[in-house]
Structure 1
Amino acid sequence: MTDQRKQQRTLVLGGTGKTGRRIVAQLRDQGVPVRVGSRTARQPFDWTDPATWAPTLRDVDAVYLSYHPDLSAPGALKTVSAFTDLAVAAGVSRLVLLSGRGEEIARSAEEHVQAAGVEWTVLRSSWFNQNFSEDYLLEPVRGGEVVLPVGPVPEPFVDADDIAEVAVAALTDDKHAGQLYELTGPRLLTFGEAIAEISTATGRTINFVRVSPEEYADGLAAAGVPAGTIELLTYLFTTLLDGRNARLSDGVARALGRPPRDFADYATSTAATGVWGGA
């Protein structure tokens, strides 16, 4: 990290989310001034309220750009493009974009960031390990049954800690400017295999049940999940899990000089926290 970078403020959008809060913690440990971009921050940031953008960007040099709920969501490209243009006009000189692996709409957002006229790094990620422990799959795992519209398609699950470490490197070290890193774990696993590894780590029986996309959507609707969220989840579990991402990449190793964290290590350490119940 250069001394200049260490003195300049970094904005972490989604700063209370899975990757964002890890990035905030690492930057603060390194003495980097950080501004957390979230609705609950002292200076609130809301993707749906452009009036909150300029105040959040004041005196910021670098931005971790993570869009919620997903770059494939309706209107995401327009929103991210508008924010990127405003950030550059406000004096931001480095953008690190969290993108989706295999998502065509996400590619358009990447291209806009790359053409913005400032230093950029793109991080394309696969499914997070932490979706099983910090998101919508936590309660099904706790309940002993995970129901999804997913077949035996392998996925290179990636750890959020690895994503955060690569993001921090890209935000603070000039050598990552202009790089596109595809971030995956070291193994391909089906969702059934991932659940089985969690079951072994917890010492509990956790079943994986495959249903049709229609059955899955109906189940979410019956549970009161909003229609927009149902549409997004169905897209993520069907369109993106057609085998397009069933390959490993070396992004973590290229960025950090070490192999990515294995899913089994994640399952073992997470089980030890007791978040899933069991041993």
Structure 2
Amino acid sequence: MFLVTGASGHIGGRVARLLAQRGAPVRRLMRQAGSTPDLPGSTVAIGDYGDRASLARAMDGVDTVFLASAGAPPLKRAALHGNVMDVAAGAGVKRLVYLSFQGASATSPFPYSADHLLSEAHLKQSGLAWTILRDSFYQDLIPTLPDAEGVIRDPGGDGKVAWVARDDVARTVAAVLLDDRHAGHSYDVTGPEALSLEEAVARLAAAKGGVPSYRRETLEEGRAWRAATGAAAWEVEVWLGSYLAMGTGELARVSGAVREITGRDPVPLAKGRA
């Protein structure tokens, strides 16, 4: 039995569907009923990463867990991931596949990078068989970045990113879940090329008729307009940190993992769902 967390999200929903299509027994964890479409042959468990009792109920009879990232402020996110790992170890789960982040480190300007590093360390000490998949930023996010004027503002710089399609990530996760030989391995999961955000926007504009547009800005300008949207202070810093991480080039490494694991080449930007 597979437990797929984040089943109402972009990656978890895709992973659950792929497993079900292969005839695998799937239990989908979600925070509330009715938050994901019906999926024939699967069951639903209601639970929360912060509620260990609900996690234990969801993991009854489960052999393998897929752990998608929690929606929470930095550091609290790592603690919630640790809850899932601890409960899994106590519930008799054999293996946990964790969706981490490319370049997870304590020194990245992207605040969530440290959460992923802490989560990876926790998992390796949990006693569970583990696989870590470190994905790059999603191609699918780029069309969601424009402001109210239809402009993607970039306070990060010229660094390149190995943008990956969510479909490729989900296919890779599903393949790893179905193959125990990936236990004990970490993989970067990326697209087939590295592009700066400016290059990525130009690629999308050419494919979609001239939108969106791109504008370079300073950190101060970026913080000001993002804060004016009403976002919490920590959300503003996570947002800025994501651009700064792009600018450092720490997300530029292109990996062959999608091809190696799934047997299919990753989708280039502007040719997938983005």
What TM-score range do you get, normalising by the shorter chain? 0.7 to 0.9
Deviations 1:166-214 (A, max 9, x none): 1111111122222211111111111111111111111134211122222
Q: Aligned pair 1:33/2:29, yes or no? A: no
The residue identity in structure 1 corresponding to 2:162 is P
Moved more, 48-57 or 193-202: 48-57
Aligned match for 2:54, one of 49, 52, 55:
52
Distance 2:133 2:214 in 1: 30
Moved more, 182-191 or 44-53: 44-53
For residue 115 of structure 1, what is the aligned residue in structure 2?
Answer: 125
Residues 12, 23 of structure 1: 8 Å contact kept: yes
The alpha carbon displacement at 1:261 in A equals: 1.4
With over 3 angstroms needed to count, the CA separation of the structure-2 counterparts of 1:87 and 1:241, relative to structure 1, is farther
The alpha carbon displacement at 1:48 in A equals: 3.7
Residues 162, 195 of structure 2: 8 Å contact kept: yes
Q: Aligned pair 1:89/2:90, yes or no? A: yes
Which stretches in structure 2 are left out of the alignment for 5+ residues? Answer: 34-43, 106-113
The residue identity in structure 2 corresponding to 1:126 is S
Which stretches in structure 1 are left out of the alignment for 5+ residues? Answer: 1-8, 271-279
Aligned length: 255
Residues 197, 264 of structure 1: 8 Å contact kept: yes
For residue 11 of structure 2, what is the aligned residue in structure 1?
Answer: 19
Residues 4, 65 of structure 2: 8 Å contact kept: yes
Q: % of aligned pairs identical?
A: 33
Matches within 5 A, 1:81-230: 81-104=82-105, 105=114, 106-133=116-143, 136-137=144-145, 140=146, 144-230=150-236
For residue 79 of structure 1, what is the aligned residue in structure 2?
Answer: 80
With over 3 angstroms needed to count, the CA separation of the structure-2 counterparts of 1:51 and 1:215, relative to structure 1, is farther
Q: Aligned pair 1:67/2:69, yes or no? A: yes
With over 3 angstroms needed to count, the CA separation of the structure-2 counterparts of 1:232 and 1:205, relative to structure 1, is closer
Residues 157, 263 of structure 1: 8 Å contact kept: yes
For residue 6 of structure 1, what is the aligned residue in structure 2?
Answer: none
Q: Give 3-state SS (helix, strand or coil) of 2:214's partner.
A: strand
For residue 276 of structure 1, what is the aligned residue in structure 2?
Answer: none
With over 3 angstroms needed to count, the CA separation of the structure-2 counterparts of 1:69 and 1:233, relative to structure 1, is farther
Distance 2:147 2:76 in 1: 32
Residues 13, 38 of structure 1: 8 Å contact kept: yes
With over 3 angstroms needed to count, the CA separation of the structure-2 counterparts of 1:239 and 1:264, relative to structure 1, is closer
Distance 2:28 2:193 in 1: 33
Deviations 1:228-261 (A, max 9, x none): 2112112222145411222212221221233221
Distance 1:232 1:48 in 2: 21
With over 3 angstroms needed to count, the CA separation of the structure-2 counterparts of 1:224 and 1:141, relative to structure 1, is closer
Residues 181, 255 of structure 1: 8 Å contact kept: no
Moved over 6 A (4+): none
TM value normalised by structure 1: 0.84
